[in-house]
Structure 1
Amino acid sequence: MARSNKSGGSNQVFMAWLGLSILLLVIDQLTKLLAKNNLFEGVAKPVTSFLNWTLVYNPGAAFSFLAQAGGWQRWFFTGLGLVAALAMIWLIRKNSQQTLFSLALSLVLSGAIGNVIDRIAYGAVVDFIDVYYGNWHWPAFNIADSAITIGVILLIFDEIKRVNK
């Protein structure tokens, strides 16, 4: 059955959003591989007066939530990440013409999959970016975490914009 130009264009936009997610996923995984191959776990490598490269493994979620839970959290967060990824793919497909919404979901999708890959491969998420001020350190994070954070901020902004219309 022939497709109309409208659905073909929508499919191209959807594939572009998935392409963005894949690009960010590749960047995330390459930077984690570089960190694993060039850093020693827990040893800070100074970059600037507020940034270190520091390899750490986080078996929990954000801010090490449930990191000491005994192992079950690995599979819980892996399953949750996979379910969330499938939902985001469906939402991007359904709403691919909504630029800000699809951009936000593409960022979150790449981060979710990146961290799922880590959980499956290493049993924990590979973090290596250590931002600090004086003796205060933000919890270590990675490119996937950054993509998720930016994506969530964009989702909030998109919702505020939608509500205020």
Structure 2
Amino acid sequence: MRVLWITAALVFALDQASKIYIVQVLGLAERLRIDVWPPYLTLRMAWNRGVNFGLLSNDSDLGRWLLIGVALAIAAGVAIWMARGAHRPVALVAGGLLVGGALGNVIDRLVYGAVADFLNMSCCGIDNPYAFNVADIAIFAGALGLFAFTGRENTP
């Protein structure tokens, strides 16, 4: 379990540090766009009040608190699941990625009222309108890792 908590702490710290630096220090919240390596990497400010890609967006406090509750329940569920079984270290890392990312986005909802998304990547003539953040990457990689690296421990 130590691996899970170390991974979660590192993801959480990286996510929050990147948001503080990019949104506040670089002033992306006011500038709204910073071209880093166009079109491949652009920083675009997006306040996500929903889930992935702004789905289920809701400006109400009830919606915000509901999403906070869901994220905390998922993080707790993954931690409990990992604690109750013998899992390979790679599965614990995957669990830590998901937990750390979920907690990073929870902090955004508590502090800003929405998740701060800012990474935008486009390529090959396709203009991607969506932005994401470090926590989103970790959540996706963690969920994929849990799918790939768990469930076979008890298989003959």
Tell me the TM-score normalised to structure 2 length.
0.86
Q: What amino acid maps onto 1:123 in structure 2?
A: G
- Any idea what the Cα deviations from partners look like across 1:74-128, whole Å, max 9, x if unmatched? 1111001111111122122223542222121111001110001111111100111
1:77 to 67, 75, 88: 67
- Hey, what's the Cα distance between the residues in 2 that align with 1:157 and 1:16? 18
Q: Which residue pairs with 1:153 in the alignment?
A: 144
Work out the number of aligned pairs and report it: 152
- Hey, what's the Cα distance between the residues in 2 that align with 1:41 and 1:149? 28
The answer to whether structure 1 residue 54 and structure 2 residue 44 are counterparts is yes
Q: How does 1:31-50 map to 2 (within 5 A)?
A: 31-37=18-24, 38=26, 39-41=28-30, 43-49=32-38, 50=40
Q: Which residue pairs with 1:19 in the alignment?
A: 6
Higher-Rg structure is 1
Residue pair 1:107, 1:150 contacting (<8 A) in 2 also: yes
SS in 1 for 2:46: strand
Residue pair 1:95, 1:102 contacting (<8 A) in 2 also: no
- Hey, what's the Cα distance between the residues in 2 that align with 1:152 and 1:117? 20
After the TM superposition, which of the residue ranges 40-49 and 110-119 deviates more from structure 2? Answer: 40-49
Residue pair 2:50, 2:56 contacting (<8 A) in 1 also: yes
Q: Which residue pairs with 2:79 in the alignment?
A: 89
SS in 2 for 1:66: coil
Alignment gaps of 5+ in structure 1: 1-13
SS in 1 for 2:43: strand
Q: Deviation of residue 139 (structure 1)?
A: 1.4
Root-mean-square deviation over aligned CA pairs:
2.2
Tell me the TM-score normalised to structure 1 length.
0.81
Pick 1 or 2: higher relative contact order, CA cutoff 8 A, min separation 6: 2
Q: 1:56 to 1:147 in 2, by over 3 A?
A: same
- Hey, what's the Cα distance between the residues in 1 that align with 2:99 and 2:46? 22
Q: 1:15 to 1:96 in 2, by over 3 A?
A: farther
Q: 1:76 to 1:62 in 2, by over 3 A?
A: same
Q: What amino acid maps onto 1:15 in structure 2?
A: R
Q: 1:51 to 1:160 in 2, by over 3 A?
A: farther
Q: Which residue pairs with 1:136 in the alignment?
A: 127
2:101 to 104, 107, 111: 111
Residue pair 1:56, 1:127 contacting (<8 A) in 2 also: yes
The answer to whether structure 1 residue 29 and structure 2 residue 20 are counterparts is no
